[in-house]
Chains A and B, each alone.
Chain A
Amino acid sequence: MDKWLRSERMPHMWCPGCGIGPTLYAWARALDRVGINKDKVVYVSGIGCSGRGSGYLNVDGFHTTHGRAIPFAIGIKLAKPELCVNVISGDGDLFSIGGNHFIHACRRNNDLLVICINNFIYGMTGGQLAPTTPRGQYATTAPYGNIEHPFNTPHVADASGAIYVARWTSIHVRRLEKSIAEALGMKGFRYIEVLSPCPVNYGRRNKLPEPDDIAEWFKQSSVVRNGAHTSEVQIEKDKPLILGNFVKRVEKPTYYEGLKKLEERVRGER
């Protein structure tokens, strides 16, 4: 697995207990197991702690602007379709500033694997409220408790047309790797949410300060329901965390395939 890491950049900058490392390792192992040519793998990241990942993995990596990883990745994929393009980013980057790009990429069925490392908070900037922070939890910009309802991101992806939707956590490494491998074998917009601990900026303010407190919460509260309807997997404080492979649709033409078919028609080659 050494070939997948830029070892000269170790140690990485993530905190003890952070789930980004295990998630990226599961992704690299899945790529390795499936046998994807490393030279054709592209990793596009956004801004945040997860954004730093593209500089640690030994593949073509692009650390782009906040919220814009998905359209950047679409540009890469459409211009050079033989590449295996992956977006791995955080919940704020993908669903707050990046939300519009996320739903449109789903809608167009752009051929991308998008992994959201959801730590329920804006970690890098010190612990501000995220669109995924559970109601009632605390953040630096919600010092009296969050009054908003968070996104149910698998449901957003499902409703927008994603062909593969799953949710695991960074401690469910084997099932996560299997899910990623399954997604890598498909074409179209594929989405995997990975719940991840952020002890320093989420846990500490929400009674889960130690590096393995959140991991323990995941372990105790999670329940696997493969095939669950995404409208029923909302994350709520003190309710079970529902994990699983939720959606696997029959593949439909990707944006690129649609474009190529159009081209054939226009050029009268059919």
Chain B
Amino acid sequence: MGKTVLTGKHFWYGNIAIAEGAIAAGCRFFAGYPITPASEIAEHISRRFPQIGGIFVQFEDELASMAAILGASWTGVKSMTSTSGPGFSLMQENIGLGAMMEVPTVIVNAQRGGPSTGLPTLTGQGDVMQAKWGSHGQYEIIALSPDSPQEAFDLTIRCFNFAEKYRVPVILLASETIAHSAGKVVVPPEDEIELVYRKKPKVPPEEYLPYKPDEDLVPPMACAGEGYTITTTGLTHNEKGYPDTTTEAQEKLVRRLNDKIRKHRKDIVDVKEENMEDAEIAVVSYGQVSRPAKRAVKMAREEGIKAGSIKLITVWPFAEHIIHKWAKQVEYFIVPELNYGQIYLEVKREAEGNAQIILIPRMGGTLFTPREIYQEIKKVNKK
């Protein structure tokens, strides 16, 4: 039997770090389809899973992959898929099914230039809004965005933990940059990695209601083949899992699916704030833009500019309380993004007019250099 957790220091590409993070998190079912720049995740897992008894399948398309990981999760196995923009679009319908059926699972999107076929081998952040709003209907998911191979490893584990805790599809909003760049990754000993598993029913089958939530709004999850005779559907349903296509059932269910995440914002949202204590200009960044942004803030500070950085580790749900707080202190938020303004819109709204928001857009392709962001900070500082 091969080793599951590769404890030690490694020099890994982001895609490898993501694959190993999934394995360390206990993922033992992967379904995927080739797509640049995510293919290496599938390739690595196809090599590792037979060593450790996991099930790897390359399916006929992303639609099948997304359906299969939901099915696998329904048997109690942690499951994952990985893709990029075009595949992510194909997966949306079943992401919605996962949200509706409340299925723990992880979807990795290694973002590339879009829209459509776009720039397969170059980076972007164009799918941020899609991650939240991609499927039809009103639902909430969780999305985390790594800034390095190390974070890709760590956040993949966190994605699985959130998926299990909240019974929701969780998206790792990675990027071509992270996928295809290498860096130091330290993998801790197996017993130091905290893992979460879904709540199981505390009552016997005759008393169990598949969609009756606990206090935390998350229902315990019985799985297929456990004698609970579960029933579930993508239709609006009641606590028994039976279709209940009434206004009352819809209101109750959809509200809970959203509140389930919204009410736990403080647990889910994670940001890294640096140099913010006296900051007048805050650079808000996420994913692959975070490290250039951090360096840019350092360069500005060296010149006496009161700049600070807010790195969004959690992209969705949005860190509104963080922006509310700092908007009262800073004069400017600068948002560099590899799109034409997506998180910018969230920052602008949540600042509620207490600060000015400057967007530095780039449609994707190449990453900002620290100097490019630093120059924008300087420009703003002169105002």
Contact = CB atoms under 8 A, between A and B. Distances in A.
A79 interface: yes
Contacts of B61: 100
A267 B51 contact: yes
Given A55-B242, A60-B225, A76-B74, A71 B65 contact: yes
Contacts of A74: 57, 64, 68, 71
Interface string B60-73: 11011101111111
A152 interface: no
B67 A64 contact: yes
A262 B63 contact: no
A130 interface: no
B2 interface: yes
A64 B57 contact: no
Interface residues of B, number: 45
B50 A80 contact: no
Most buried by A among B50, B71, B235: B71
A68 B64 contact: yes
Given A39-B227, A60-B231, A78-B55, A72 B70 contact: yes
Contacts of B28: 79
B64 A63 contact: no
B1 A60 contact: no
A120 to B, nearest CB: 25
Nearest to B77: A79
B201 interface: no
A72 B1 CA distance: 28
Number of contact residues on A: which range applies? Answer: 35 or more
A75 B68 CA distance: 4
Contacts of B231: 6, 54-55, 60-63
Contact of B60 (A52, A101, A263): A101
Contacts of B242: 9, 55
A42 interface: yes
A68 B233 contact: no
A78 B29 contact: yes
A38 B230 CA distance: 12
Nearest to A47: B234
Contacts of A255: 57
B97 interface: yes
Contact of B225 (A9, A62, A83, A101): A83
A266 interface: yes
Contacts of B2: 267
Interface in B23-61: 28-29, 31, 50-51, 53, 55, 57, 59-61
A104 interface: yes
A194 to B, nearest CB: 22
Interface in B168-185: none
B232 A72 contact: no
Contacts of A266: 50-51
Interface in B57-107: 57, 59-61, 63-65, 67-77, 79, 93-94, 97
A117 interface: no
A80 B76 contact: yes
A62 B72 CA distance: 12
A59 B75 contact: no
B229 interface: yes
Contacts of A78: 29, 55, 57, 68, 72
A75 B97 contact: no
Contact of A63 (B59, B71, B73, B234): B234
B83 to A, nearest CB: 15
Contacts of A39: 225-227, 229
Contacts of A80: 75-77, 224-225
Contact of A76 (B72, B97, B235): B72
B9 to A, nearest CB: 26
A17 B79 CA distance: 42
Given A68-B64, A101-B64, A267 B1 contact: yes
Contact of A75 (B31, B228, B234): B31
Most buried by B among A65, A73, A100, A262: A65
Interface in A251-270: 255, 259, 262-263, 266-267
Given A55-B231, A68-B67, A76-B74, 18 more contacts: A54-B231, A55-B233, A60-B229, A63-B234, A63-B235, A63-B243, A65-B67, A65-B94, A75-B70, A76-B71, A76-B72, A78-B57, A79-B77, A80-B76, A83-B224, A100-B64, A266-B50, A267-B51
8 contacts: A39-B226, A40-B225, A54-B233, A58-B229, A60-B224, A75-B70, A76-B71, A79-B55
Interface of B: 1-2, 28-29, 31, 50-51, 53, 55, 57, 59-61, 63-65, 67-77, 79, 93-94, 97, 224-235, 242-243
Can you list the 3 inter-chain pairs with the closest CB atoms, starting with the nearest?
A75-B71, A75-B68, A63-B233
